Amino acid sequence: MPTPHIAAAEGEIAPKVIMPGDPRRATLIAEQFFDDARLVTEVRGILGYTGTVGGERMTVMASGMGMPSLTIYATELVRSYGVTRIVRVGTMGGAQDFLELGDVVAASAAHTDSAMSAARIPGVQFSHAPTFGLLRAAVEYGEASGTTLHVGPVFTTDAFYQPNTAVGAQMVAHGVLGIEMEAAGLYAVGAAEGIETLMVGTVSDFLYKKGEMSPAERESTFAGMVPFAIAALQS
């Protein structure tokens, strides 16, 4: 049933959801990967479409930016629409030298500086992890299709403009592949609500070397990562 932030009627959201941050990326994914996609919600400009992918019903709906925003949408999708699997398809800053623009990364863990994580279970440093079966399905899709997928930890930060540059440097030194703003929130919702989750992301810029996508490229460069998300959702 509709929620404060999602207007779709009961039954209009599929149990399996692809979740980009950017609403316009949701539209492009619906246009390019879905059959018979129909707009089912647009509250606050957060667009959601339901259609079919390879004959299976699926929804693509944006999360907005940051853990607070994603957590609202993911929680409402689970509690009010019975969603059981969410795969985030995001952009991220590449954090290791071997990565190139457009490379696809699956987040096998997500460190975070978010107060939302610290507040979840007082006194506990919560480990944010994806569902193993979804991660395995994404890896298997890469192997079967001959498409490279980098697998490793990401850093989910509240601050796109990090005031303390030493934090990013430390995360790089600790081996994170990318820096983004939602994966840990999604994995926490997965753990708390008992659903399956995964994040795959596209490298859109770098922390410590030159190169970045234009805003238009960041909006539209998703074709590489979406098949991994679909493979995980259909596994």
Ligand X SMILES: O=c1cc[nH]c(=O)[nH]1
Residues that bind ligand X (CB under 6 A): 91-93, 160, 179-181, 204-205
Q: Which stretch binds ligand R1P (CB under 6 A): 19-27, 42-50, 122-130, 136-144?
A: 19-27
Tally of residues, the chain? 235
Q: Does 90 bind ligand R1P (CB under 6 A)?
A: yes
Beta bridge partners of 93: 179, 205
Instruction: State the number of binding residues for ligand R1P (CB under 6 A).
Output: 10
Cα–Cα distance between 205 and 221 in angstroms, integer?
Answer: 12
Q: Give which of ligand R1P, ligand X, none residue 205 binds (C-beta under 5 to 8 Å, depending on kind).
A: ligand X
Q: Does 23 bind ligand R1P (CB under 6 A)?
A: no
Residues of this chain, 56-75, that bind ligand R1P according to CB under 6 A? 65
Q: Give which of ligand X, ligand R1P, none residue 190 binds (C-beta under 5 to 8 Å, depending on kind).
A: none
Give the pair of three-digit tokens for residue 110.
């997500």
Clarify whether 205 is annotated catalytic. Answer: yes
Residues of this chain, 144-163, that bind ligand R1P according to CB under 6 A? 160
Comparison of 40 and 186: residue with beta carbon closer to ligand X: 186
Query: Contacts from 96-102 at CB under 8 Å and sequence distance 24+?
Result: 96/172, 96/175, 96/176, 96/177, 97/208, 97/209, 99/150, 99/177, 99/178, 99/203, 99/206, 100/203, 101/203, 101/204, 101/205, 101/206, 101/211, 101/212, 101/213, 102/202, 102/203, 102/221, 102/224
Residue in 15, 21, 51, 178 binding ligand R1P, rule: CB under 6 A: 21
- C-beta separation of 40 from 74 below 8 A: no
Q: Which stretch binds ligand R1P (CB under 6 A): 15-23, 33-41, 46-54, 78-86?
A: 15-23
Q: Give which of ligand R1P, ligand X, none residue 179 binds (C-beta under 5 to 8 Å, depending on kind).
A: ligand X
Q: Does 181 bind ligand R1P (CB under 6 A)?
A: yes
For the bound state, the minimum distance from the C-beta of residue 63 to ligand R1P, rounded and expressed in Å, comes to 7
Comparison of 1 and 173: residue with beta carbon closer to ligand X: 173
Q: Give which of ligand R1P, ligand X, none residue 21 binds (C-beta under 5 to 8 Å, depending on kind).
A: ligand R1P
List of residues contacting ligand R1P (CB under 6 A): 20-22, 65, 90-91, 160, 180-182
> Active-site positions?
205
